[in-house]
Structure 1
Amino acid sequence: MLLEAGANPLQTNGLGHTAQAYAKEGDVSTILQQWEGKFQEAQARREAEERRRFPLERRLKEHIIGQEGAINTVASAIRRKENGWYDEEHPLVFLFLGSSGIGKCHLSHPTHKKKLLFGFLKGFIRMDMSEFQEKHEVAKFIGSPPGYVGHEEGGQLTKLLKACPNAVVLFDEVDKAHPDVLTIMLQLFDEGRLTDGKGKTIECKDAMFIMTSNVASDDIAQHALQLRQEAEQVSRRKLADNLEDVQKSGDVTISRQFKESVIRPILKAHFRRDEFLGRINEIVYFLPFCHSELLQLVSKELSFWAKKAKQRHDITLQWDSPVLDLLAGGYNMHYGARSIKHEVERRVVNQLAAAYEQELLPKGCILRLSVQSEDQDERSTPSLRLEVVGEDSSSRTLDIRPPLSPEH
């Protein structure tokens, strides 16, 4: 009855034993053996149906703004793995290139609210490669050899891979690691195995390795901006002929010639070895955000603070569309989405905190953000103002006093 209702015959207890370990012979053992195969087939069918109904691209776009090219590249490689069209002797290896704060780590993380986005993977391991800048820190990676201090503790990576051999492994800021650490990765990326300090080999062919790097980020950003400008010019020309053929300014792809003539030499000069770059399945390029994506980022950040305001202080936060344009102007190409986050904190959250401290925000009130333009001086930048909205839809602008200077 349990098995027919969908119970998992492969379920393990606290000791890691399945039901089959306790039913060594007899009818129960036979039934369990028969249902193990049936359950695995049914589970594979359910997962395949889930992948058809909710493609990985769609699942990733729910959590990541922009970066369509990067999402499509990663999703295509994972689709091969999920559906059995892959070389089981070699793990998947990606190198994510682009400016800081542009979504490289966000796309690397396969979980959202404890739900795995990548079906065949069972865990997530993050290694910050800025901790491995010295030659002797290779021991931290794979463990100390016999006779050295800390030999029994094992390496940071080998210990985690042994516990979860089919995980997503993120090597963050790989360009900061010592070359000897990269040498260890050659075997890891090529054959999917790693020998620890004790001499034991750990198999991890089912893992997925992602490296992030800021190398050549300025070149990629400048090239993408140039492509966007060209796309906008094409759009303007097409606009006069046919409205339906207008190309979106965000849809730009890095040319093969640019990858080979500009990016490849920079990577080769930095990593100093072709065999390391040759083991990478896909080099994924992350481009600067276009204006429509910046508006989405600002809206997402404001929604985050609106949720906090409601939860902590019972204040409803609203805003007009010009507010999004004004805050999007704080975008810095070199700092990515973090510059938008800092701009919202600087121009909105600082005002909210000051108004709350001065007891200008009644509990349960509705606050509206709007843009206040300075009429007397055209050169002055527009500022944000906070308005308390009354029950009769009337609004009252808050007079937030500047903080006292130290000498006062």
Structure 2
Amino acid sequence: MLSRISRYMPLLFAIMVFTMLYQFIENHWPQPQAIASLISSIHAIAWYLASAALFGWLFLLLGWLHFHERLPDFLKARPLMDILDRLTNKQVIEEGLEKQETAIFIDAESLAEALKQRVIGQNAVCEDISAQIRRRLALSQRGKPVGVFLLAGPPGTGKTLLAKVLAKELERPLLHLDMTQFAAGSHSLSQLLGMNKGYVGSDTYGKLTSGLQDNPNAVVLLDEIEKAHPDVLKAFLTAWNDGFITERSDSNQVSTTSAIFILTSNAGTKRLGEISTQYADDPDALREAAVNALREASFAPEVLNRLDRIFVFQPFKGLDIARVAALEIEEMIRGYGLDVADQGIDPNIILLLMRRYQKLGKLGSSRDLIRAIEEQLADSLITAKKAGLPKVELFLDADQRITARAMLPHGSRS
């Protein structure tokens, strides 16, 4: 701007000379009214331009003095301003900050201990996944989900439970999708990602896109991922690769960069059970063998290529079977709105369930343990609930049947 003012300085001074000449003529040779008005207007414009020229020259002079470090001290003081306004573009930074992923720091050891309290017999998995999540959450810019983890191994060994406990401990919402319900191609895509424009139902989002829109930091549990339709799997590849997934009803891109994806699979169960024992002390060899086993079991290779980590769950053994049995019994009883009294489970019940579980071999599941006793307990639990007695104890009768009886408030049996 200063260079432009300097360029027109000769013209501005010419106007000033003309104005002064006009004043001389006006004072000595009166002119007709019309001409006098015109000249008066020119006079006002000329003074405006002359004033602009004067200030322009003043700025040029101050600029020259500044760059040649000849400014007086009283002119060197800078007005107070945000340092970002002075050194960069503050507005751009503020806008970028809203979109930037922030680093989160967690205590991996505390998280692992909390997981191990609920997920029995999978200590190595709990420690490994806790360390992985700590590292990934500490990254401030990812462009991809926090993690895409596959939990593989025999059914009923705690894969789904781990995802649920992880969401609770991280204080994140859980988005649980049973992938057996998404095996029908285009219909499955509509359920997950919404209906295309113009079709019935296109005014609502899909289960996945709406879930992530409302809770971008969710733990997304994809149970039995191997049973999903190939088109559904392709949709997830975008979510894992590019950091977003597109809602089909309005083409809105929903971010996945703050989410944690947990996949579970029962594919290759027999082989995974074998290698989990064979490589129990070598995690790297275990993961490599697990990938090969899943490939042999026809697990989608495009999914395997995008996994951040594979965790192999081992079958229960020893006291882990007893711990799982006790926890499952407690959980089932709580489902009836009741609690187990302290040491209220007859140890002979646990031993009985352990024997039944061991007979099932490597394909045994903790769910099988509960199915074995739920029908026997249901009626007596309902009776205790109706009586308004909140605590029960379990015992094994002479016929090897498991029975529940309510505990009175003072500790005696009903």
State the TM-score, normalized to the length of structure 1.
0.62
Write the distance in 2 (CA, Å) between the matches of 1:387 and 1:128: 33
Paired position in structure 2 for 1:133: 183
Identify the structure with the greater helix proportion.
2
Paired position in structure 2 for 1:406: none
Paired position in structure 2 for 1:172: 223
Matched, 1:69 2:121: no
- Structure 1 residues 124-149: Cα deviation after superposition (integer angstroms, max 9, x where no partner): 21122112112212222212222222
Q: Percent identity?
A: 25
- Give the drift of 1:294: 0.7
Paired position in structure 1 for 2:68: none
- Kept in 2, the 8 Å contact 1:368–1:389? The answer is no
Match of 1:318 among 323, 326, 344: 344
The CA RMSD measured in Å over matched residues stands at 4.1
Paired position in structure 2 for 1:286: 313
Matched, 1:161 2:178: no
Write the distance in 2 (CA, Å) between the matches of 1:272 and 1:367: 47
Distance 1:63 1:387, change over 3 A: closer
Match of 2:143 among 89, 92, 95: 89
- Give the drift of 1:389: 12
Paired position in structure 1 for 2:367: 338
- Kept in 2, the 8 Å contact 1:323–1:371? The answer is no
- Give the drift of 1:290: 1.1
Match of 2:400 among 383, 389, 394: 383
Write the distance in 2 (CA, Å) between the matches of 1:186 and 1:139: 17
Write the distance in 2 (CA, Å) between the matches of 1:136 and 1:367: 51
- Kept in 2, the 8 Å contact 1:306–1:316? The answer is no
- Kept in 2, the 8 Å contact 1:69–1:253? The answer is no
- Give the drift of 1:272: 4.1
Paired position in structure 1 for 2:275: 223
- Structure 1 residues 170-229: Cα deviation after superposition (integer angstroms, max 9, x where no partner): 1111111111111111111012111221222112211111111111111112333566xx
- Structure 1 residues 320-350: Cα deviation after superposition (integer angstroms, max 9, x where no partner): 434322221121342411012122325x526
Paired position in structure 2 for 1:349: 377
Distance 1:351 1:261, change over 3 A: same
Larger radius of gyration: 2
Distance 1:103 1:65, change over 3 A: same
- Give the drift of 1:369: 2.3
Paired position in structure 1 for 2:159: 104
- Kept in 2, the 8 Å contact 1:221–1:288? The answer is yes
